């Protein structure tokens, strides 16, 4: 407890630290926002809550880490992860997801939870339970006399995430497939009547989501670190972001992603890193409770 108060007083007396945490939070939040956008996409289009989202991220991260060990610069992990995860997404869609789309929501939730366990344990058996990080050998910049440090990897991660997010948004706005996806999200039946192959749209959406996660994972491995069981934390994080923002609300998802990053930086600094998971879970409960109070006003349940 004294430590917590001490940390808070550090923040009060040296406001420059706040600024440093804020920058770090925003840079990391960009990756959360990217992956959360993928979750929102699948959620909105297919009405599948993908609990394996965080584990897709971990696969992308481990791919990048492997490349790094082979002597390839880890930033090349981004395109590799995109391609590989696209393939994994396609296989999973064919074998599992396509069979649960029309079923009730708990079915898809449980099925993706099963996938998540398989991926977690598979990664654990292949790579061991240690925390790994891909070294990019990039400089660290210091500002304000060393009080604020910004690592180049985080800035590059941010730029990559921004480029990918813009690319996906432009794709959704302008391309034929993007339009089909949005039409299916609005009304799948009407889309089918108008000649859109919704099966193909679903398959494409799920693969796209997996690819986005892969890219996010590659960035996570470079910027931060990966560990087989961290996937669950990411899934909960993304779930919090999308629940807080609402899945149809793209600017909201991005803002909530940044908010999550900043919240975690400050929470981690004040309480200590070991409370990270507890903080995220409490935030989840808080967001759900708030959503409920909002819905109570219009006498509806959160569903």
Partner 1 sequence: MNGAALQPLTFWLLLLFGITAPLLFPAYTNQIAVLWLMIVFASTWDILGGQMGYNSLGNIFFFGAGMYVSAVIQIGLFYDVGLYTSGARTIHIAFSHEQYFIGFVLGIAAAGIVSAALAVAVGWIVFGLRGPYFAIGTLGVAVAGAELMASWEWVGAASGISMPVFPGGPEAQKLFFYLLLFGLAFALLLFLRWLYSTNFGLAINAIRDDEEKAEAMGLHTRRYKRTAWVISAFFLGIAGAIFGNMTGFIEPRDIAFPTTTFNIFMVLMVLLGGKGTLWGPVVGAVVFHLIKEFTWTYFLGWQFVTLGLLIVIIVVYFQQGIVGWILEKYPERFGVKVAPKESRSIDGQLAAQPEGAE
Applying CB under 8 A, the site for partner 1 has a residue count of 43
**DSSP structural state of residue 97:** I
Q: Which is nearer to partner 1, 169 or 281 (CB)?
A: 281
Determine how many CB atoms are found less than 10 A away from the CB of residue 135.
13
Determine the interface stretch with partner 1 among 33-41, 112-120, 146-154, 246-254 (rule: CB under 8 A): 112-120
Binding status of residue 118 toward partner 1 by CB under 8 A: yes
**DSSP structural state of residue 175:** S
Q: Are 234 and 53 spatial neighbours (Cβ–Cβ below 8 Å)? A: yes
**3-state class of 164 per DSSP?**
helix
E strands, 21-173, in order: 140-143, 148-151
Q: Which is nearer to partner 1, 33 or 236 (CB)?
A: 236
Cα of 231 vs its chain's centroid, Å: 10
In the complex, what is the shortest distance from the CB of residue 157 to partner 1, in angstroms, rounded to a whole number?
27
Q: Which is nearer to partner 1, 104 or 139 (CB)?
A: 104
CA distances 203 to 110, 129, 180, Å, are 19, 32, 12
Q: Which of residues 119-138 bind partner 1 (CB under 8 A)?
A: 119-122, 125
Q: Which of residues 264-303 bind partner 1 (CB under 8 A)?
A: 274-275, 277-278, 281-282, 284-285, 288-289, 291-292, 295-296, 301-303
Q: Which of residues 223-262 bind partner 1 (CB under 8 A)?
A: 236, 239, 243
Q: CA nearest 233: which of 273, 279, 277, 286?
A: 277
Judged by the rule CB under 8 A, the positions of this chain that interact with partner 1 are 49, 96, 99-100, 103-107, 109-111, 113-122, 125, 236, 239, 243, 274-275, 277-278, 281-282, 284-285, 288-289, 291-292, 295-296, 301-303
């Amino acid at each position: 407890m004294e430590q917590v108060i001490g940390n808070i007083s550090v923040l009060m007396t040296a406001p420059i630290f706040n600024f440093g945490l804020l920058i770090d939070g925003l840079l990391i939040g960009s990756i959360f926002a990217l992956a959360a956008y993928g979750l929102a996409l699948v959620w909105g289009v297919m009405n599948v809550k993908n609990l394996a989202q965080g584990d897709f991220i971990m696969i992308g991260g481990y791919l990048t880490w492997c490349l790094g060990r082979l002597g390839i610069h880890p930033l090349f992990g981004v395109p590799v992860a995109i391609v590989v995860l696209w393939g994994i997404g396609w296989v999973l869609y064919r074998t599992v997801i396509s069979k649960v789309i029309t079923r009730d929501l708990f079915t898809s939730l449980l099925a993706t939870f099963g996938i998540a366990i398989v991926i977690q344990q598979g990664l654990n058996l292949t790579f061991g339970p240690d925390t790994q990080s891909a070294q990019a050998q990039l400089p660290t910049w210091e500002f304000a006399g060393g009080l604020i440090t910004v690592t180049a990897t985080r800035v590059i991660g941010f730029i990559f995430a921004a480029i990918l997010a813009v690319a996906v948004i432009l794709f959704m706005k302008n391309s034929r497939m993007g339009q089909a996806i949005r039409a299916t999200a609005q009304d799948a039946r009407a889309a089918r009547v108008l000649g859109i192959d919704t099966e193909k749209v679903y398959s494409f959406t799920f693969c796209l989501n997996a690819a986005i996660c892969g890219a996010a994972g590659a960035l996570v491995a470079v910027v931060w670190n990966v560990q087989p069981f961290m996937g669950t934390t990411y899934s909960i994080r993304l779930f919090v972001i999308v629940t807080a923002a609402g899945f149809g609300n793209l600017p909201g998802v991005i803002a909530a992603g940044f908010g999550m990053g900043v919240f975690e930086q400050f929470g981690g600094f004040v309480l200590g890193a070991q409370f990270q998971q507890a903080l995220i879970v409490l935030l989840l409960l808080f967001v759900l409770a708030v959503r409920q109070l909002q819905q109570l006003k219009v006498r509806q349940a959160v569903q």
